[in-house]
Structure 1
């Protein structure tokens, strides 16, 4: 009986706990649905779209606490203020934004302040997308528009936050204005879509530009900005839609101050095209001093190699007749160690069937003694090879028959390579191995019959680094054999000047970059695959 009472008591207790838990569960707050509503503008002082504007401060009031984020990228004022406006509060949540104008405003001009997506609510950071405040210092608001898109001359995807600029082609406008002055009107693309719209424009004739404005000064800086331009004059109003193709110009030629970096080496830096640079010594060098000039591999530097000398200094002229430039430099000699011969190779370990085996040197190579070089296959079987000594790129290229599933060994005995200073290599051994043909895939690309040649067909990886290329002056089947498995991007350069490479544009010369056409999507290559793709091009 006692046991029955205890059991009933425990059962009743359990029932009460469950009931209370269910009640608690039904009554516990869930927090409600997530806030997805952006902050709303409820009032502006002065009112939005005010005419005959004379205020120095603008206040925008919202229906909830807001913050400003990434305002330096998002905010666009058109026409730009010479002195940036002060915007408060920055960082702290508030129900208003205040814009203090520090400029003397233009007469009879419509201004647009576009906040992009910088205004977000304090809790969930929902943006009030592209809130715009518009006012006019004249009697009416200008209302014309111009639309378009931006693209990148080289890359498949355009950069984010491209500034799109209109310059009024009045009596003061010249081709150099974009280097010196901000535009009359400006907008930018966002961080996802490459489209633009210039609003509240007045009718007239304009020059249209796009800039990747790195230092955000609303002017073109050749050393760091990409530029795109429409060569024709833009007449507003217009129904045309414009595409700005942005590119990096080749830098204008400029010689840098040379410096001595080793007992036998002086470096001459430059920007732009070095091919017309002529470096000469005004100082008479002793008969014992020999010199040679060689471009540094993958750097904008010319290496002036010289036999060690006891001179205190050497005076040089650096001349470029093509751009009518001449500079004079004095290089102080310093007590430094010599650069000695060091060798490296283009490939180590796995050797793909399309690879080229090269030996690279840091000091100028002058001779290769083939009696001190041997190539063996399968550890001990001698194998024939040919070679080319490339004195411009300071390397030796070897060519030999490559077979699958083999091991190759290059041996260089002392004295195989001699450099400009008479230094020679020590014993060196390089080992290479190949895989099976089945480890690779093959790709065949077919183009339409209406392609204008010459072209350059390239395969890049997904980061845009070129893996293979074929230069063609006439129609052919383009075969890329022995590709490593992976995803590739195909593109075609329309090589209008026939030099076998892509050439950029130049704004002042009114030259657009050579066109590049991309195959839509990526091309997957798997091991032991044969793949064929048709690429429809439009010139």
Structure 2
């Protein structure tokens, strides 16, 4: 009996041990995988000459996935047709690339996968993986490098295409509008540095594009461009800096449409200077019209008193360019825009910003007898009110004092618009802080060329204050809200008081801008002095 018990006990222990050994469970931990996928081999081999394959495969030591392949993959020279790429939406131990193009003869091709090839579990990228082959007898080996900067912003955009065109008998200044380049690379999302590799000897022009359509040609209406003035002769040891800017588009009119029963929007590309709009359709004598620019947008609002009609035919004329367009605007079921008034400041009043009241419909009249302003002691405050018909607003000018409360009252009928509508009673309460709640900055420039425009901005480039100077001076920015700021210096070479962009066909670079290298922290009740020595 004892022996039978011991035999049973031994069997139980053995089975239990085997069961525990066979149990499946999650690992208890371990170091996180930070290793990128390793490329094992390629079919055909990279650096192949006399390449004739229609398919390429890259094999890895683990399962991989493709991330943002459309943005990350750069093929140089560009292909006319989008290749077929696998895997898409899944995992695989290889990347397959099928050509749909007929490849050029005697040409070296480079496929740069950027950081699109990642391991399937942790997403570790196989950074800047490249595959090179030649349809000729040898691999071109020359290189060109440089950097891209933005003409206006402190930080350049991501995914900038850098393009090299060979100067041959077919090349003209308009080629970039029509044909992809001979070579291309991309800054991707990690750096402003670019490197063009596997180039052949010759003379080239160098461009950069923020290529919104990803079609490898320049679309002036939407793309930023940078260009080098001089021809590049390869081989070269020089490095190049490209300055990216958005051109003022060439003039063109967009098909207008009714936005409201009393408003038609006419959109444009380019300058609106010397543009006129006139109806060809005979309008009833009772119909009144008015044209206003829509804020800082590239459009004009055509206001009209509503009437019953099916359509109106308009003639849009650019007097300077002698361009005439004809448009038919069909009526549609839309509401009507009624007068709405909004102050540009509410609550706390700025010492550095004017106070005004904007309107959504055209303003025609103000009655100052129906406007009153008092301080916290109910004493009347002297002010002037002016109707700005270009900006479509009422400007109010009065002395702004610290630690003060103001109350502004508009009785009905104080403001009248183009359609005869007037305001209801409006009452605005405004207050100011103490000067001690703000900081002051004195900014000095050394070795600068004048005239200049010095701007105090935030990280996104919004301008809080600016000072224009035609000769050396101390730039004093007062009553600044506590925050961190940037200082932008515009070298206003034509002296028109604003920054001017460039133009590729006119071979004109944008006006130069320099940023003070450090962020400037402004604290309450601080006086700060900074000096900026301008580099050549």
TM-score (norm 1): 0.90
Aligned counterpart, 2:461:
464
d(CA) in 2 for partners of 1:287 and 1:301?
A: 26
> Is 1:40–1:62's contact at 8 Å kept on the other side of the alignment?
yes
> Is 1:379–1:409's contact at 8 Å kept on the other side of the alignment?
no
Deviations 1:395-448 (A, max 9, x none): 121111111111111111222222223332222111101111111111110111
Deviations 1:262-281 (A, max 9, x none): 44333222222112211122
> Is 1:411–1:427's contact at 8 Å kept on the other side of the alignment?
yes
Aligned counterpart, 1:12:
none
Q: Mark the CA change 1:81 to 1:314 in structure 2 (over 3 Å): closer, same or farther.
A: closer
> Is 2:451–2:493's contact at 8 Å kept on the other side of the alignment?
yes
The structural deviation recorded for 1:307 is 3.5
Aligned counterpart, 1:385:
383
Q: Mark the CA change 1:313 to 1:49 in structure 2 (over 3 Å): closer, same or farther.
A: closer
d(CA) in 1 for partners of 2:129 and 2:274?
A: 52
Deviations 1:283-325 (A, max 9, x none): 3444433322111224332122233445554322100133332
Deviations 1:94-135 (A, max 9, x none): 222222222111111111111112222233333222121111
Deviations 1:17-66 (A, max 9, x none): xxxxxxxxxxx986544333322222222222111111112222223332
Deviations 1:358-404 (A, max 9, x none): 01122222222221111111151001112332110011211111111
1:479 corresponds, among 476, 487, 496, to 476
SS for the counterpart of 1:426 is coil
The structural deviation recorded for 1:153 is 1.2
Aligned counterpart, 2:234:
236
The structural deviation recorded for 1:219 is 1.4
- 1:329-340 matched pairs, under 5 angstroms: 329-332=327-330, 338-340=336-338
> Is 2:221–2:269's contact at 8 Å kept on the other side of the alignment?
no
SS for the counterpart of 1:72 is helix
- 1:89-488 matched pairs, under 5 angstroms: 89-309=87-307, 313-332=311-330, 338-448=336-446, 450-488=447-485
SS for the counterpart of 2:320 is helix
Q: Mark the CA change 1:56 to 1:293 in structure 2 (over 3 Å): closer, same or farther.
A: same
Unaligned 5+ segments in structure 1 are 1-27
SS for the counterpart of 1:323 is coil
> Is 2:64–2:120's contact at 8 Å kept on the other side of the alignment?
yes
SS for the counterpart of 2:70 is helix
Q: Mark the CA change 1:330 to 1:114 in structure 2 (over 3 Å): closer, same or farther.
A: closer
Q: Mark the CA change 1:67 to 1:307 in structure 2 (over 3 Å): closer, same or farther.
A: closer
Aligned counterpart, 2:513:
516
Unaligned 5+ segments in structure 2 are 1-25
d(CA) in 2 for partners of 1:382 and 1:111?
A: 78
> Is 1:110–1:134's contact at 8 Å kept on the other side of the alignment?
yes
d(CA) in 2 for partners of 1:83 and 1:264?
A: 47
The structural deviation recorded for 1:536 is 1.7
TM-score (norm 2): 0.90
d(CA) in 1 for partners of 2:79 and 2:330?
A: 48
> Is 1:379–1:408's contact at 8 Å kept on the other side of the alignment?
no
d(CA) in 2 for partners of 1:40 and 1:250?
A: 47
SS for the counterpart of 1:382 is coil
The structural deviation recorded for 1:186 is 0.8
d(CA) in 2 for partners of 1:88 and 1:311?
A: 57
SS for the counterpart of 1:73 is helix
The structural deviation recorded for 1:184 is 0.8
d(CA) in 1 for partners of 2:119 and 2:184?
A: 27
Aligned residue pair count: 511
SS for the counterpart of 1:322 is coil
Aligned counterpart, 1:80:
78
2:62 corresponds, among 58, 61, 64, to 64
Q: Mark the CA change 1:523 to 1:47 in structure 2 (over 3 Å): closer, same or farther.
A: same
The yes-or-no answer on 1:531 pairing with 2:528 is: yes
d(CA) in 2 for partners of 1:455 and 1:80?
A: 42
